[in-house]
Amino acid sequence: MTTTETPYLLGSEPEELRRLEEQAAALAPATRAILALAGIRPGMRVLDLGTGAGDVAFEVARLVGPSGSVVGIDQSSKALRWAAGRCAEQGLTNVSFVHDDLHEMRPAGEVDAVVGRLVLLYAPDPAAVLRKYAGYVRPGGVVVSMEYEMSVAGLLPPTPFSERVAFWITESFRRSGLDPGLGARLGTVFAEAGLAGATVLGLQGYSAPGTLTGSRMAAGVLRTLLPVLTRTGLATTEDVGIETLGQRFFDEQVETGRMFRPPTLVGAWARVGES
């Protein structure tokens, strides 16, 4: 286990962990579909990379059932305490957590699957992370990654305000050296990791005017990214007006009668070769 925590763009304060939970609720149908299509089944032993508030680990725990198990790994002790509390509340007994950096951790033994959602984005070399963890998957087991393609997110069709909000979000990631389009590139990343022929599939919902998904997603992530926006000169705190941004986004969607399209969750999975 590492003694220092890796600097991580979004941090792990309670507000951010609550945002992850809310985002996870919106992503749950797509996540369940991807995990099931990838072949996560009862009895499997699974690692969840960058487990955060624990939501993917909990989805996997339900799929693998009491005869299977999930280990959630995260570099944030705050996130893991949060996740462990939620795990107990949900009565899940087949989930455990390990506090470590993905680049340092040495799993205890072979597993049937490795999964990770919205975590490769933060790795300087995502293919190296996949290659490393594929090495712990038994032959015939599966590696699953889910990452965002952010460029599609916003009102349909965009308004100047929704376009500005979408730009602030994607550009904050870019200016932090992170790729907001990683999801679309997952097939290439898998191939670089020696996992050729991955299945790659994008999924997302659409939210009607009067629902809260768009406004809460936009305001939630911008609140966390606000220091990046101001530090990199993308916008001032006055430009963003974070306290009212969610309401303004909600009103704009209602007044223009437009649908909100969230970022696409791209799932990619590949079997580890049987030699």
3-state secondary structure 188-228: HHHHHCCCCCCEEEEECCCECCCCCHHHHHHHHHHHHHHHH
Is 26 a residue that touches ligand SAM (CB under 6 A)?
no
In the bound complex, what is the minimum distance in angstroms from residue 105's beta carbon to ligand SAM? 8
- The residue written with tokens 């191939």 in the block is 191
Which region holds residue 10: left if phi is over 0, alpha if psi is between -120 and 50, else beta? Answer: alpha
Between 102 and 131, how does the x/- string for binding to ligand SAM read (CB under 6 A)? Answer: xx-------------xxx--x---------
Is 8 a residue that touches ligand SAM (CB under 6 A)?
yes
Is 101 a residue that touches ligand SAM (CB under 6 A)?
yes
Is 167 a residue that touches ligand SAM (CB under 6 A)?
no
Q: Segment near ligand SAM (CB under 6 A), from 3-11, 136-144, 156-164, 217-225?
A: 3-11
* Gyration radius of the chain's alpha carbons: 19
Is 217 a residue that touches ligand SAM (CB under 6 A)?
no
Is 75 a residue that touches ligand SAM (CB under 6 A)?
yes
> Residue 174 burial by CB count (10 A; 0-12/13-18/19+): exposed, middle or buried?
middle
Is 24 a residue that touches ligand SAM (CB under 6 A)?
yes
SS3 45: strand
- Of 52-71, binders to ligand SAM (CB under 6 A) are 52-53, 55-56
CA distance 61 to 54: 10
Return residues touching ligand SAM (CB under 6 A): 6, 8, 10, 12, 20, 24, 50-53, 55-56, 73-76, 79, 101-103, 117-119, 122
